Homo-oligomer: A and B are copies of this chain.
């Protein structure tokens, strides 16, 4: 007698193959595809998206998935796949195939439109596309919303199961209450941290070389991964033996350096997923927030610490002797943690970072649930930067056009960045009890830290959600107070503020 799951398996494999192809097209689009390819390749992506839609969302698959959910001999991995499949079906079954396909065709090109608009510093070139994307997103969320459920909650649930507007309002209220004043005190402290040596002329080829070294140092395995260049750094993967990160090279050394450590952190998550889960619907990170917790953990908690750089700062000095030869390790580490009121989220220090996300959370809520219009968005954006960071962008390139996310239809994604930082802080304080965290870093034994995370977080893929990973690992449900504590301890010390 054959099990329903065995019957279902070929359908899952088919969906996986189509999805992997879509991932590859997206990677190619962002890193290599020629300028004029967009529209014709968009046809291909539209059709393959429709195929994926059809592969997951058809009567036979739905029947088998429901039969599976009633079976009681499923392994944990199989049960997780069925659960994810049912989620995907729920997501897709409310959306007519033609609409889904049209939307996919739109977003296959919209990132390019965004990039051109950003390049030209011209919001009006992107606005029509953004309006279309938001209309589709609201339409789709409307199809899917349970009675009384907010559309924005539907979107949030896709990225971070278990975190609704209600819960996020609490989280961001805490940020507003604790971090906004902390940031203000830091800005008004009168303490000047030197970081001029981070700017200058750094040849791309040398940046790439040291970037590869650092990626490998934190554990990125180039026999199972590649690194390329794109406008906005990102990580993607075809499976756990093909993980891809990108970076970009600028005249700020820390920009590519820490973006590489960040993306490598995402990459470690993907490498760490168990072989029996990769290429299945349970073979990705638990959630966007948990993914960001790993990238930001490696970028900030590990990568911006004195202990991390002790064994390898010499390498960096060797690569850039003119810029860093005379800069002491302590001064370098202070510089890469310097807080400042800047416009660009991805270049932000850890402290102001949460405020950049706060801005986006509030704007998304107003765009989806309130009455903020796309045309009014650049002004609303500038107003919030003025309110929380005390600065007002004078152009859209540094303002509302800086992030790729909305051009890809990713609404509800941004909160994950702040949640990820908060997850990471919670994991950090627990790990400090389990091991000599700083001592390991100083001894170059970063692998112990990485293996701990692989063991407790990475390997499970979607077998657990973010809250249960936190509970199993730290013994406690999500608790944002750790994040506030982490930022306070770090920045009060760095800026010599009184501890309160």
Which A residues have a C-beta under 8 Å from some C-beta of B? Answer: 13-14, 16-18, 20-21, 24-25, 28, 32-37, 39-41, 43-44, 47-48, 51, 222-226, 228, 238-243, 278-279
Contacts and interface: CB of A to CB of B under 8 A. Distances in A.
B223 A13 contact: no
A343 B206 CA distance: 38
A238 B44 contact: yes
Contacts of A24: 21, 24-25, 28
Contacts of A43: 13, 17, 279
A170 B224 CA distance: 50
Contacts of A18: 48, 51
A131 to B, nearest CB: 27
Given A25-B24, A47-B17, A48-B17, A37 B241 contact: yes
B225 A34 contact: yes
Given A20-B44, A28-B24, A242 B13 contact: no
A17 B44 contact: yes
Contacts of A36: 223-224, 241-242
A56 B396 CA distance: 48
Given A32-B226, A34-B222, A241 B40 contact: yes
Contacts of A239: 37, 40-41
B34 A226 contact: yes
Contacts of A48: 17-18, 21
Contacts of A28: 24, 28
In the A-B complex, the 9 residue pairs with the closest CB atoms: A17-B47, A37-B242, A21-B21, A40-B239, A36-B224, A20-B44, A17-B44, A35-B223, A36-B241
Given A16-B47, A21-B24, A36-B223, 7 more contacts: A17-B43, A17-B44, A17-B51, A21-B25, A32-B226, A36-B224, A36-B242
Contacts of A21: 21, 24-25, 44, 48
A96 to B, nearest CB: 16
Contact of A40 (B39, B40, B228, B242): B242
A14 B243 CA distance: 28
B279 A34 contact: no
24 contacts: A14-B47, A14-B51, A17-B43, A20-B41, A21-B24, A24-B24, A24-B25, A24-B28, A32-B226, A34-B222, A34-B223, A34-B225, A34-B243, A35-B223, A36-B223, A36-B224, A37-B224, A37-B238, A37-B239, A40-B239, A40-B240, A40-B241, A40-B278, A51-B51
